[in-house]
Chain A
């Protein structure tokens, strides 16, 4: 099987001796058009783009991402719009991996098989489902793999070592390590050194898996974690969208500035 776009991206950033920068925004925040513009613009600096499909009962998201999600839903975003944003993005940025992220009920209502098919047709590279943990997600993950969609497993500080081994074994090209016990958008409450210790332990189970760290990463904290294969920034970006809207400033420019700064810190 030929390597996925996600794998290729990590190969490239590893050659450049830096972590991949992963950004997260909510599709349709605050409009379909705007979020596509933001996506295109930040992809100049981001290596992998995560795109959230918003849900109105997000049990693992903190205030910033909730605000973005509610805003997008209020402005009428539908799941097919999310696919269309991703697809349009891919038309001009075919070499940028895009990962959809969200909650299982949205997939369940769409129908699992139809959802995965649609991911494949829209050139989605990966999928993160927050509330479909391992091992319950195994059949779904397998279906994704068959359609060339990376299913991205999550691991956290509470994941036992037995589970960790199994998850790594069954994972695809990328694994997401949640840095601390927190929803998204929490303040980094664990020392970066500690986070990297856990990260190294996970990494040592299989050097070939790309492990990214997320939760609590901001302009302030990103540099301290640059040893990782990849770093995810979400809430800090959503927060900027919120504040740009409040100040009636151009969200595209402001968010792009932040992403550029984040990138500079880990170059």
Chain B
């Protein structure tokens, strides 16, 4: 399996929508064929349209607040010894996470298609919060599907959604987490696709949703590339880009500009949710060798049993608690361009504590998984190695979990 150069990864699929001949595709019910086709055509048109690009860039700058900063974590680096640790503080983006890029683009597409209703799924509540913000901004009516368990554990984001006027539809089926929210959102779209636009909250789902989301978050790496050049005059010789992977939208966005580089120069490291140390359950299909399966309209590595029933997952981080993963990450794994590993709940909590102790940074539980890997490898690496962690979410939403697991204070 081989990557092409000079073509964005999101476009390296075949006619049927498969990356590497086997990941992705569009396994959708007949009813969604037409709306998916319409959306595909519209997106193809819009991404070539100068006026649309101008509009996107305008909102990225003036609404989202691009660029987010790129900072050196001196105290943490000194404490650990070894590599320099840097962070791209994507959590500075309006709303507090990278999900705002995808949400804003979807709202713009929804407007362009003349639809007044927009629906989306959410796990950590960031995708939902951002979609509710964008919907409010652009005058769209918004419904968010969210597992009942996640509604309980990510209350601050739910409060924000409601404040923005969105309706939260609690999903009570299955494990009551992200996987069920996505299913329910798709069902809703099947029934209402004539007047409603659907946003998928990550680089998952039928081919077109992977593309739109990746195209949106790619902004992160465009910023980073110029920030690297500003900081170091040219792209340094040894870089490691470490990112947590749930569906994979922030990781793809963080990496997309750097995929063509030699992996000896720029290593891409994806960190999945390993779940509680003592539990057999996890949400790490790539790093714990799940089999290929079909989930939510696409083929990818999926946590499942022999029969093809989707397996329950477990993670302290609602945003990573998903049995599947983006087909483009499966492609990056099998082509060996990226390396995938996992961090346990405990690793993430420890990393959170260490980062917040040494730095003026408050990463949510998702990027805390990425920090766990950085903390693990930094001491073994040379001073001229630049580790960059995408701090893609703010921990305000995790207030209750952190308090429960780490005690008061926070």
| A interface, CB within 8 angstroms of B | 55-62, 66, 70, 73, 78-79, 103-110, 130-134, 136, 154-160, 163, 178, 181-183, 186
Contacts and interface: CB of A to CB of B under 8 A. Distances in A.
14 contacts: A57-B295, A57-B310, A60-B31, A78-B307, A79-B308, A103-B294, A106-B308, A131-B28, A134-B30, A136-B27, A156-B33, A159-B34, A182-B191, A183-B190
Interface stretch (B135-143, B179-187, B354-362): B179-187
A56 B309 contact: yes
Given A59-B186, A131-B27, A133-B28, A181 B194 contact: yes
B308 A110 contact: yes
B176 to A, nearest CB: 13
A110 B308 CA distance: 8
Contacts of A157: 31
B14 to A, nearest CB: 12
Contact of B293 (A59, A105, A155): A105
A131 B294 contact: yes
Given A73-B309, A131-B297, A181-B192, A59 B31 contact: no
A60 B16 contact: no
A136 B29 contact: no
Contacts of B187: 59-62, 183
B221 interface: no
B179 A57 contact: yes
B307 A79 contact: yes
Given A104-B294, A136-B26, 4 more contacts: A59-B187, A59-B296, A158-B35, A183-B190
B304 to A, nearest CB: 7
B270 to A, nearest CB: 23
Give me the 10 closest cross-chain CB pairs, A-B, nearest first.
Answer: A109-B308, A158-B34, A105-B294, A60-B29, A105-B308, A156-B31, A154-B30, A131-B27, A106-B308, A59-B186
A161 to B, nearest CB: 11
Contacts of A59: 29, 183, 186-187, 190, 296-297
A110 B309 CA distance: 11
B191 A183 contact: yes
B201 interface: no
A171 to B, nearest CB: 12
Contacts of B226: none
A108 B293 contact: yes
Contacts of A78: 307
Interface in B12-48: 16, 25-35
B349 to A, nearest CB: 30
A57 B192 CA distance: 19
Contact of B30 (A55, A62, A133, A182): A133
A181 B294 contact: no
Interface size class of B (residues with CB under 8 A): 35 or more
Contacts of B191: 181-183, 186
Contacts of B310: 56-57, 105
B193 interface: yes
Given A108-B293, A183-B191, A178 B186 contact: no
A155 B31 CA distance: 8
B34 A136 contact: no
B41 to A, nearest CB: 12
Interface string B300-322: 00101011111000000000000
B303 to A, nearest CB: 11
A152 to B, nearest CB: 11
Contacts of B407: none
Contacts of A58: 183
A104 B179 contact: no
A181 B193 contact: yes
Contacts of A130: 29
Contacts of B30: 133-134, 154-156, 158-159, 178
A213 to B, nearest CB: 14
A182 B291 CA distance: 31
A106 B307 CA distance: 6
A235 to B, nearest CB: 13
B335 interface: no
Nearest to B188: A183
B60 to A, nearest CB: 32
Contacts of A134: 30
B307 A60 contact: no
A154 B27 contact: no
Contacts of B179: 57
B263 to A, nearest CB: 31
B173 interface: yes
B33 A159 contact: yes
A56 B302 CA distance: 13
A104 B28 CA distance: 10
Nearest to A129: B27
Interface string B352-393: 000000000000000000000000000000000000000000
A109 B304 contact: yes
A59 B204 CA distance: 14
